[in-house]
Amino acid sequence: MTAVVDLQHITKVYSTAAGDTLALNDVSLTVEEGEFIAIMGPSGSGKSTLMNVIGLLDHQTRGTYHLAGQDVSQLGEADLAQFRAHSIGFVFQSFNLLPRASVLRNVVLPLQYTGVPRLKRREIAEEALRQAGFPVKAFHHKSNEISGGQMQRVAIARALVNNPALILADEPTGNLDSRTGEAVLEMFQKLNAQGRTIVLITHDASIASYAQRSVHIRDGQLYRGIYTAEAETADALQDATDAVLPSSGGAA
């Protein structure tokens, strides 16, 4: 079986006038088809950098990345954009919807350039909204006139329409109250149960505990994950996490 994500010895260096920052330090990670994995780490640990590499939004300095079997360093800009659009469904903390467009229009949009006929696009979008638990009666509401929890369901539906190999979610509950956030995380679990491959990025152990497995990033280095099932509570997951990480400063 081909891994959906296969990162080998990935290094990312940001060079600025102030000097170089080693944001990712020899990161290797594979995510198999059907996995739901959380990447967990505190602010500044390299989560966004890793998400940008996995999401084909930025390129590593060194190392290889295969997404769905494709060596992405072999792709030029235009092919990369196409490949990204078809392979990855993004869900962001800030939803990133077109505020004045309808819910349905937001979800149809990624299908615009795929050659899917117009009527079929609408059908696919409606089905994705239903899968994301969005109420049919609000399909035509403007997306700035719905609640935050509903906005994130629209964003999840939008992430599903191209049937991507990977759903990549960056702090998807960061702008939601805890009850709404739980419902969204349960939605990810449901999608995973239907076979979707999900990478969830978070700083919070209680959020990571919804995944099947978590890996931990500190100072740009990745550490062995704890299988969530082994840790019965988020606190236990945090303790187990602390146990595999070097003591403060040790990762540098």
Residue 151: its H or E element: helix 148-160
Q: State the nearest-atom distance from the C-beta of 124 to Mg ion, in Å.
A: 31
- Residue 21: contacted member of ligand ADP, Mg ion, none (CB under 5 to 8 Å, by partner type): ligand ADP
CB of 109 to ligand ADP, least distance (A): 27
Question: Given the rule CB under 6 A, which residues bind ligand ADP?
Answer: 14, 16, 21, 23, 41, 43-49
Which H or E run contains 183? helix 178-193
**Least CB distance to ligand ADP at residue 21 (A):** 4
Which of ligand ADP, Mg ion, none has residue 23 at its interface (CB below 5 to 8 Å by kind)? ligand ADP
| Full strand arrangement of the beta sheet holding 62-67 | 19-31, 5-16, 62-67, 70-71
**Nearest CB to ligand ADP, comparing residues 86 and 203:** 203
54 — phi, psi (to 5°)?
-60, -40
CB 45 → Mg ion: shortest distance, Å? 8
Chain positions 30 to 89 lying near Mg ion, rule: CB under 5 A, are: 47-48
**Is residue 212 within 8 Å of residue 228, measured between CB atoms?**
yes
Please identify which residue in the block is written with the tokens 């840790």: 231
The residues with which 216 forms a beta bridge, in sequence order, are 40, 223
Crossing angle (nearest 10°) for helices 148-160 and 178-193: 20
Does 206 participate in binding Mg ion (rule CB under 5 A)? no
State in angstroms the smallest separation of the CB of 170 from Mg ion: 7
Q: Which residue has the tokens 């990480």?
A: 245
Please state the closest distance from residue 91 (CB atom) to ligand ADP, in A: 16
Task: Tell me the sheet residues that pair with 134.
Answer: none
- Which CB sits closer to ligand ADP, 41 or 110? 41
Size of the site for Mg ion (CB under 5 A): 2
Our CB check for ligand ADP shows the closer of 193 and 252 to be 252
Q: Which is nearer to ligand ADP, 50 or 103 (CB)?
A: 50
Q: 46: closest CA among 61, 67, 25, 74?
A: 25
Cα–Cα dist 101/129, whole Å: 15
Residue among 47 and 196 whose Cβ is closer to ligand ADP = 47
Residues that bind Mg ion (CB under 5 A): 47-48
